[in-house]
A = this chain, B = another copy of it.
Amino acid sequence: MVKRKSFGDMECSIAKALDIIGEWWSLLIVREAFWGTRRFGDFESRLGIARNILTARLAKLTEHGILQRVPGQDGSKYHEYELTEKGQALAPVLIALSLWGSKWVNGREVTTQDILDRTREERRLRAEESQSAKLADKRRSA
């Protein structure tokens, strides 16, 4: 039993990690942030998540320092969310889950490179979408 003590600090690292990010939606919100989503309304529509659940999860992720609230990039009154260093450090967890899910649930093996390629593509698509939305807003308010 003495030997076991030497692992003290590692004792519950998985339990503690799950306590923070172990709710179904939390990791999908983090994944969406990796894909470039920054605004409440975009998380809502892209994830198809109920507003009250999204509000609670964003608050918890922010409280635990995984996301941080920052002023809107376009100077609008809406704030945005971005991954902190602690949040970005979750990349290996998401990659490991994605590799496992692809192979063992979807029955199609992918590589880490496939996942990184997809992340880049998703970021490009979301940037395009945001650009289109901003142009539409401008046209409407013009």
Query: Which residues of A come within 8 Å of B, CB atoms?
Result: 3-4, 7, 9-10, 12-20, 22-24, 27-28, 31, 86, 89-90, 92-106, 108, 110, 114-115, 118, 121, 125
Contact = CB atoms under 8 A, between A and B. Distances in A.
Copies of this chain in the oligomer: 2
Contacts of A115: 10
A28 B17 CA distance: 11
Interface SS of chain A: helix
8 A-B pairs with the lowest CB-CB distances in the bound complex, closest first: A13-B101, A17-B101, A92-B96, A13-B102, A16-B105, A93-B96, A9-B108, A96-B96
Given A10-B108, A10-B114, A18-B97, 10 more contacts: A9-B102, A9-B108, A15-B28, A15-B101, A16-B101, A16-B105, A19-B24, A22-B24, A93-B93, A95-B96
Contacts of A15: 28, 101
